[in-house]
Structures are given as structure tokens and as C-alpha cells.
Chain A
Amino acid sequence: MINTGVAPDHMMIAPILIPIVAGAIMLFYNDRNRQTKLIMGLVAVGLTFLASIELVSDVKSATEQGGTVVGLYRLGDWPVPIGIVLVLDRLSAMMVMLTALLAAPSLIYAAAGWHGKGQHYHSMFQFLLAGVNGSFLTGDLFNLFVFFEVMLAASYGLMLHGSGPERIKAGLHYLAVNLAASLFFLIGVALVYGTTGTLTMADIGRALYWLDDAERVLFHAAAGLLGLAFLIKAASWPLCFWLPPTYAAASPPAAAIMAIMTKVGIYVILRLSLLVLGPDAGPSAGFGAPVLMIGGVLTMGFGMIGILGTPELVRKGGYLAIISSGTVLTAIGFAQAGGGSLMLGGALYYMVGSTAAISAFFLIAEPVSRNDEGDDDAPVEDDGFDPLSERWAPMGLGTVEDTTAPASQRTVSWLTMSICFSLVAAMIAGLPPMPGFIGKLAILRGAIQDNLSTAGYLPMVLWVYAAMLILSGLGALIALMRFGIRRFWAEEGPAPRILALEVVPVVLLLGMIALQTVRADALLGYTRDTARALLEPGVYRKAVLAGAQDVRAAPVSSLAPDPAPAPDEAPEAEAAAPETRPQPEPAPAAEMASPETQVNP
């Protein structure tokens, strides 16, 4: 119970509740009141942002007094290994804040007309936010699955928003891939429960110690299956082929918020690999780290080839997301193998900056590559939808297109667009004043410093990683520069009409990126502390499991064996194993019963 008094109790659930309630209230309004819904959505996002500020300042302030703080919120006040918990630490607080920061620009962009291209855009958007925030905050593996599905269900709707053959085709693939990934996730969860008897993330790491060899193999299979599911979400090569077409087909504001979804996959991998399979996990330490390292480097390479190869600007955005994923995944692999906190801190800093930049990129890609000649109704697309609307009517989808007027008719000049584009491109390529550069520099510096001080030499894969970091930036620079020259300098003819509402979000995101440059020291300090906390999973485990009752009574802070196990444990575990079980092991059922019926010492 080190900190349950420090962390705000009910504030922790606010980032999940606010979007759910806002999205649900919106459903009561007629969908044509889009301006009302827009304002409600912005208010909800604003409130979530305020809550996230509160959460971040809470985790931060307590840290300065020494020690890492982990907030715990027990849903329904069930005791810990039984009930579902929300866990707040530096990483989850940061990710919740990042989500709120990306949500506002995307909503503003949608006000330029996209939210009128289909039904219930704003509700789905809020449900997506609830799912994302829930995934960041939950401390239970199955609850994570539920929030994942909330997020995915909303993302299917957002991805298909606006309809049209291209979206339907990409959406079909996206849906199939994600359904399969969810099933892998479920198999992994079931295996974890079957081997360790618990689903609380902090408890898994503890239960892991007690596994015998046969069970450990099964647990590793479970970890592999879970990793597969999350690597599909995080778009690691060779599981990333769904991403570029999906994000290219999605409407720009949806793609911009979906940029955070790959980061959800990365977040879970980061959380589980360091909490469960981190350096202190005994025989399972570092399981999967080589896959993350090599897979991450290959992902970066694939993204680089992709961005150079594709002529479409929106698809380049998808490959940029893949490069960003690969960069962070490799750093996670190094951290899991014992690569030190400096590098992971740099990678987290890079992740924040690059997610914002990719979001801005998706928002700017559509106006920049737009090809109308100053007509009104800017976000109109000509995908040949109209002839088919009769076929759609029986399915209740005939009302898909009721384009509302944009909230503001102000336009901006083509020059503004080109400046914004060049700034986004510079950020993505990692040119010096931008956070992309600072992040990469921090990764490289941390990697070299830590490795030289511990091992005395640099391993081969680190050289490859360093080279790929620089090369992928170069690839992105070449690709975007080529596009920019062609589009802004070489092209004649009237410039397309760009609404101010479509540029404001990009400017907001650029402002956020600029703030990251100016306050780089503060943010980098925060992410480094985060990385340090992640590499000491004992604190997290202790905070979550404080007061937890468990038949195995393993020590929570370190995974060393208990020198003197309580005498009544072993017989109880024996008795708990029913005859049909293949191996005698502490029965989950025994745990379920203990708090109510037994007084545990």
C-alpha cells in the first residue's frame, strides 16, 4: 500500500468514462446535429486532457519525493488477484495524454466536412478513445482484450466512414486480419490463465516463477501467441501488410487518430515484455527479445523501401507509421535484453514525437494531394459511389452521404500548405531541430553509452539498428522531398481550395511538436524516468499486489524463491488439484475461494 493514498482514486477511470458517456449521449441526438456533436466531442476530449494532466502530474510529483508511483484502481473494490484493476504509472499516464492531444486536431479536421460523410462519426470517435485509454490503463489481461475489442470495433466503423468501394475492400481485409489477431490474443490469454492461474499482469510475473519446465514451455507458447497478436497491431514486418492500404483508404481524420492504434500494440508489448519477461524473470528472461530486435530492424527496412516505392502520399504515411513502429520495437527488444534505460527513454520520446508527426502527416496528405480546381465542397471525393446508392438503400445505408457545410468557410493559401508540409516532412525525416532528430540522437547515445559501459563493445545488431535509424530517416526525406518538389514547385495550374479548418489541426500538431523541441529536456527527463521505472517491474508488481492474497505467497518485489514457505501451502495446493487435471498445481479455484471463505495468513 505504498501509494494508493497518493494517486487520485476516481480520476484514474475518468479517461475511460468521459469518452464512453459522451459517445453514448451523442447517440440520443439526431445524427444531423453534427455541430452539436462536434462541440460535445471537443468538450469530452478537453475534459479527458485535463484528467490526463492531473494523472501525469500525480505520477510525476510523487516521483520527485523518491520512488516510483503506481496508482491502483480496483473496479468494484474486489481484492487484487481476483478482480480487475486499472493501473496508472508514468507510461500509461503519458500515453493517455498523448491520445487526448491527438484527438482534438483530428476532431477539428473532421469538422471541415468529413464528419458529414457518414453516420455517427462522433460517437464512434469517442468509443475509440475510450477503448484506447482503457487499453493503456488496464492491468488485467482479459480486460485488455475487451478494451482492445472496443477500440477495434470503433475503428472498423471509423475506417469505413465515408464508404466507397476502396474503403470497403480495405476494410474487409482489415477486419479479417484483426479478427484473426483477436483470436490469437484469446488463445494466448487462455494459455496464460491455464499455466499461471491468473490474468492480472503484475501477478503473472510472480506466478511465472513457480512454473515447472513443461508449463514454462506452454507459457512461452502463450507469450508467443500474444506477441503475434500485438505485433500484428503494431505492424511489425512481416505482419504489417494490412496497414498501408487500410490507412490510405480511411478518411484522413480517422487515419490520424488510428495513428495512435499502432502505438497501443507497442504499448502492450512494452508493458508485458518488461513486466513479465524482463531481465528479472529467471529462465524466461528476455524471451522474445531477439524477435523484437531483428523484427524491428526488418520493419524499418521494409518501411523505408515502401516509402520510397509508393507514389501515393497517403500510403507513404502508412509506411512512416511502420518505420516508427519498427524503431520503437527494436528499442524495446534491446531494453528487454538488458540494454539500459537511456535508450528506452529516447525511444519513448521518439514515439511521442513521431506519433504526433504521423497524425499530422495523415491530416495534411489529403489536402496536399487534392486535385480539385478551386471548386467548393473541399473534401468531396469522386469515387463513383453514386450509381450504386440504390443497391445500398435496402441495407439502410442509403443515407450515407449528407454532406454538411463545413463549420467555417475560411480558406488558406497554398503557400501555407507547403510550409506546413515541409515542417511535417522535416520532423518525420528527423532533421536537427525537430523531436525526430532529438529522439533518434537520444536512442543512439543511450545505446552506445550503456553498451560501452556494460559490455565494452557494441553488438552487431546495434550497428545495424544505428544504420537503419539514419537510413530510414534519409529514405523518408528523399521520398517526401521528391513529392514536395513535384507538387509544390513543378506543378502548374490553379491551387486547390484548402479550408482553414483543415490546416488548423496540422498547425496545432506542429505546435505540439515545437513544444517538444523547446521543452525537450523536460520530456526526455520524463521518458527516461519512465524507462527506468519500466525496467524495475518490482515496484509496479509490489504496488498492484500489495495486500493481495495468494495461496502461493511468492515475494512480490523480487522473483527470488521464498526462503520459508508457509507450512499449510503445499498440502492445500495438492488438495486443490482435482483428479481431472493433468498436472498438480495450485488451482485457480482455490484462489477464487480464499478471500471469502478462508483467513489467509
Chain B
Amino acid sequence: MELILALAIGVLVGSGVWLMLRPRSYQVIVGLCLLAYGVNLFIFAMGRLYVGAAPIMPKGGFVDPTAYADPLPQALVLTAIVISFATTALFLVLMIASRGVTGTDHVDGKERHS
């Protein structure tokens, strides 16, 4: 599982960075999305990997913490997902506006003719 998760994060971040450095705004937004997914998985992995363990403990009595997953990274990931989703949506609006105003989808607002 570690290998699969590590590979997934690596592939997502790698392709995200590559796409983000491309000149078309659509590629940039897809790249940012992929990068955000990779980062979210990474945050998740930082709480260590658990299989079949609940993150929420019952109230009262002694609880063996080893039987539970770390809930904090899950909360962090939830927040991070919401925030990156919202900012990506804003980026999308801006991208469409830029396309409408400049007539091109180049990030600089004009084609670079060599």
C-alpha cells in the first residue's frame, strides 16, 4: 500500500507540475488540480497509513489509541480540499474571463509568435 500511495502522489505531483508550467491556462488549471490532489493524499499519508481503523473514539473509559486512525490529518485534508476547490473555481472564472477579454487561452493573454 505504501508503494502504491507513494507512486500515486508522485505521478499526480509530477504531472501537475509539468502541466502547471505549460503556456495554456487550461493546462495550468488542470495542473493545479492534480497538484492539489497529490498534496491532499500526501497530507493523508502524514497521519500514517491504517487499514480498517476508525478515526473517532468512543466516549469514556480507556481507549487504546493504536486501534484508531489519526483523525487530525483527515480533518486537515477536508479543509484543504474545500479551500483548494474554492480557489480553483475562482481560477476557472478568471480563466474564462481572460479568454473572453483577450481572445486567447495563453496565460499571458497573447500568443507568442516566434
Q: Which residues of A contact B (CB under 8 A)?
A: 142, 145-146, 149, 152-153, 156, 160, 163, 165, 168-169, 171-173, 175-176, 179-180, 182-183, 186-187, 189-191, 193-194, 199, 388, 391-392, 395, 397, 575-578, 580-581, 587-590, 592-593, 596-598
How far apart are the CA atoms of A152 and B72 in the complex, in Å?
24
Q: Which residues of B contact A391 (CB under 8 A)?
A: 100-101
How far apart are the CA atoms of A581 and B32 in the complex, in Å?
30
Closest Cβ neighbor of B43 among chain A residues: A190
7 further contact pairs, Cβ within 8 A, besides A190-B76, A397-B97, A597-B63: A171-B94, A172-B91, A179-B87, A187-B39, A578-B66, A580-B49, A592-B72
Interface pairs A-B: 3 shortest CB-CB:
A194-B46, A190-B43, A589-B65
Q: Are B39 and A580 in contact (CB under 8 A)?
A: no
Give chain A's interface secondary structure class: helix
Q: Are A169 and B62 in contact (CB under 8 A)?
A: no
Given A165-B101, A190-B46, A589-B65, is A180 in contact with B32 using a C-beta cutoff of 8 Å?
A: yes
Given A165-B102, A180-B20, is A587 in contact with B94 using a C-beta cutoff of 8 Å?
A: no
Closest Cβ neighbor of A150 among chain B residues: B83
How far apart are the CA atoms of A596 and B61 in the complex, in Å?
9
Between A145, A199, A592, A598, the greatest number of chain B beta carbons within 10 A of the residue's beta carbon is seen for: A592
Closest Cβ neighbor of B110 among chain A residues: A169
Q: Which residues of B contact A168 (CB under 8 A)?
A: 94, 97-98, 101-102, 109
Q: Which residues of A contact B47 (CB under 8 A)?
A: 193-194, 588
How far apart are the CA atoms of A190 and B70 in the complex, in Å?
13
Q: Which residues of A contact B97 (CB under 8 A)?
A: 163, 168, 392, 395, 397
A-facing residues in B1-47 (Cβ within 8 Å): 20, 25, 28, 32, 35-36, 39, 42-43, 45-47
Given A176-B20, A179-B32, is A142 in contact with B79 using a C-beta cutoff of 8 Å?
A: yes
Interface size class of B (residues with CB under 8 A): 35 or more
Q: Are A186 and B39 in contact (CB under 8 A)?
A: yes
What 1/0 mask marks residues of chain B from 48 to 64 whose CB sits below 8 Å from any chain A CB?
A: 11110000010101110
Q: Are A153 and B87 in contact (CB under 8 A)?
A: yes
Q: Which residues of A contact B70 (CB under 8 A)?
A: 587-589, 592
Between B96, B98, B100, the greatest number of chain A beta carbons within 10 A of the residue's beta carbon is seen for: B100
What 1/0 mask marks residues of chain B from 66 to 80 whose CB sits below 8 Å from any chain A CB?
A: 101111110010011
Q: Which residues of B contact A388 (CB under 8 A)?
A: 100-101
Given A169-B109, A183-B39, A580-B50, is A189 in contact with B87 using a C-beta cutoff of 8 Å?
A: no
Q: Which residues of B contact A153 (CB under 8 A)?
A: 86-87, 90
7 A-B pairs whose Cβ atoms sit less than 8 Å apart in the complex:
A146-B79, A153-B90, A180-B32, A193-B47, A587-B70, A592-B71, A597-B63
How far apart are the CA atoms of A541 and B109 in the complex, in Å?
49
How far apart are the CA atoms of A280 and B104 in the complex, in Å?
54
Q: Which residues of B contact A577 (CB under 8 A)?
A: 66
Q: Which residues of B contact A165 (CB under 8 A)?
A: 101-102, 109
Closest Cβ neighbor of B75 among chain A residues: A142
Q: Are B94 and A175 in contact (CB under 8 A)?
A: yes
Q: Are A149 and B83 in contact (CB under 8 A)?
A: yes
CB distance from A305 to the nearest CB of B (A): 23
How far apart are the CA atoms of A578 and B59 in the complex, in Å?
21
Q: Are A172 and B94 in contact (CB under 8 A)?
A: yes
How far apart are the CA atoms of A276 and B50 in the complex, in Å?
30
Q: Which residues of B contact A179 (CB under 8 A)?
A: 32, 36, 84, 87-88, 91
CB distance from B60 to the nearest CB of A (A): 8
Q: Which residues of A contact B98 (CB under 8 A)?
A: 168-169, 172
CB distance from A588 to the nearest CB of B (A): 5
CB distance from B48 to the nearest CB of A (A): 5
CB distance from B94 to the nearest CB of A (A): 5
How far apart are the CA atoms of A187 and B16 in the complex, in Å?
14
CB distance from B59 to the nearest CB of A (A): 8
Given A176-B28, A179-B91, A191-B46, is A597 in contact with B62 using a C-beta cutoff of 8 Å?
A: yes
How far apart are the CA atoms of A179 and B95 in the complex, in Å?
14
How far apart are the CA atoms of A593 and B98 in the complex, in Å?
50
Q: Are B65 and A172 in contact (CB under 8 A)?
A: no
Does B108 lie at the interface of the complex (its beta carbon under 8 Å from any beta carbon of A)? Answer: yes
Q: Are B76 and A142 in contact (CB under 8 A)?
A: yes
How far apart are the CA atoms of A191 and B28 in the complex, in Å?
25
CB distance from A189 to the nearest CB of B (A): 7
How far apart are the CA atoms of A101 and B46 in the complex, in Å?
41
Closest Cβ neighbor of A148 among chain B residues: B83
Q: Are B96 and A149 in contact (CB under 8 A)?
A: no
How far apart are the CA atoms of A146 and B68 in the complex, in Å?
26
Q: Which residues of A contact B32 (CB under 8 A)?
A: 176, 179-180, 183
Q: Are A146 and B83 in contact (CB under 8 A)?
A: yes
How far apart are the CA atoms of A515 and B90 in the complex, in Å?
41
CB distance from A196 to the nearest CB of B (A): 11
Given A186-B39, A589-B65, is A193 in contact with B76 using a C-beta cutoff of 8 Å?
A: yes
CB distance from A204 to the nearest CB of B (A): 14
Between B46, B87, B102, the greatest number of chain A beta carbons within 10 A of the residue's beta carbon is seen for: B46
Partner of A187, one of B25, B42, B79, B87: B42
How far apart are the CA atoms of A444 and B89 in the complex, in Å?
47
Closest Cβ neighbor of B87 among chain A residues: A179
Closest Cβ neighbor of B109 among chain A residues: A169
CB distance from B38 to the nearest CB of A (A): 8
How far apart are the CA atoms of A172 and B47 in the complex, in Å?
34
Partner of A590, one of B25, B42, B65: B65
Q: Which residues of A contact B72 (CB under 8 A)?
A: 193, 199, 588, 592
